Structure 1
């Protein structure tokens, strides 16, 4: 993965991660990326959400706040 980026979460379908990515970017100005690590013919693997290590604490708090 890109140097200094930290895994924040995983998902089977990725829709929830795309929503979290949008929320982080639009509301908190935290850059985030979603990586598709699925093997499509067999539907194995997951989607992964990454943020830069400088924003990991703020991103975790933002996600907890939106779940409450």
Structure 2
């Protein structure tokens, strides 16, 4: 993974992480990436949402606020 980036969340489907990523970028100007770690033929693995460690706490709070 990219150095100094921290896992913020994971999901089986990934669409929820894409929505969260868009929210972080658009509302809070926090760079975020979603990485697909699925093995396609077997539907194993997850999608993961990462943010830079400097933005981790702010992003975590933003996600909690967004879900409520």
**How high is the TM-score relative to the length of structure 1?**
0.99
For the aligned residue pairs, the C-alpha RMSD in angstroms reads 0.3
- Bigger helix fraction: 2
Residue 21 of structure 1 aligns to a residue whose secondary structure is: helix
**How high is the TM-score relative to the length of structure 2?**
0.99
Q: Which residue of 1 aligns with 2:49?
A: 49
Instruction: Show structure 1 runs of 5+ residues with no match.
Output: none
Residue 10 of structure 2 aligns to a residue whose secondary structure is: strand
Instruction: Show structure 2 runs of 5+ residues with no match.
Output: none
Runs of 4+ in 1 over 4 A off after TM superposition: none
Count of paired positions: 68
Residue 57 of structure 1 aligns to a residue whose secondary structure is: helix
